[in-house]
Amino acid sequence: MAPMARAATTSDVFNAIAEPQRREILVLLRAGERPVTELAQELGMTQPGTSKHLRVLREVGLVRDRKAGKQRLYGLDAVVRRVEDHPGNQTRFVLVARGMLSPPTGHDRTSLVCFQQADRPGNLHQILGQFAARNLNLTKIESRPTKLGLGDYCFVIELEGHLSDEVVGDCLKQLHSELASVKFLGSYPAFGEHGPQRREQIAAARAEADAWLETLRSRVRTEEH
């Protein structure tokens, strides 16, 4: 008897979509099933190269091979199309699981929940100041009741960056030391084209600032004995 294939894990899925060209394939397949030849032409790739990417996506269950060799997202049939009430509507799907985090891709997001010590003026400003001080861009923030008491709220926050990034880790460490609790929900790859460029600019700016500060400190006279 042949051994059963290992089920795809969350990390497998994240690793599969870390490749930009595979994410482009998923975007193209949102409109419906497409043959490999059309996908290759749209992507400006060879058919064997496109097939290789499709094989990876099929292995983690993101794409299915349909009749006549056409590819389709998840192998599902659309019952009704264009049901949105806004032409620019976009829907995000999040794969949630326990276990190890996916490695940083250079274009990631991190989600967490911040719990206050007590309900007092300036709490939100205190939390947001930690991100602003490190030039970390927030992509989502909302308040939610903690169900511990009337008027007791926590803040669900999503930011650009990965837990492995030094600046993100430093920010989370500071929040953890100041707040009642910080619940880490995960770091994961994000769609988009400008994430890596933005992080490179931030890293370069911080490196230049570190060098500037070090130059100033070098002018401090040492105590003579």
Amino acid 20 reads P
Residues of the chain with CATH 1.10.10.10: 10-73
Overall fold of domain 10-73: Arc Repressor Mutant, subunit A (1.10.10)
Position 1 scores a pLDDT of 46
60 token code pair = 């983690």
Report the phi/psi class of residue 173: left, alpha or beta, with left for phi > 0 and alpha for psi in -120 to 50: alpha
Encode pLDDT of 97-146 as tens digits.
777 788 887 778 999 999 998 888 888 999 999 999 999 999 999 999 98
- Give the mean pLDDT of 54-80: 71
Considering the segment(s) 108-210 as one domain, its CATH architecture is 2-Layer Sandwich (3.30)
Short-list 102, 75, 88, CA closest to 15: 102
Encode pLDDT of 144-166 as tens digits.
998 888 878 899 999 999 999 99
Encode pLDDT of 209-223 as tens digits.
989 999 999 999 887
Sheet holding 63-65, edge to edge: 34-35, 70-73, 63-65
Please tell me whether residue 176 adopts helix, strand or coil conformation: helix
Encode pLDDT of 162-220 as tens digits.
999 999 999 999 999 999 999 999 998 776 656 667 667 767 887 899 899 999 999 99
% of the chain at pLDDT higher than 70: 81
Q: Are the beta carbons of 209 and 124 closer than 8 angstroms?
A: no
- Give the mean pLDDT of 16-44: 83
Residues of the chain with CATH 3.30.70.260: 108-210
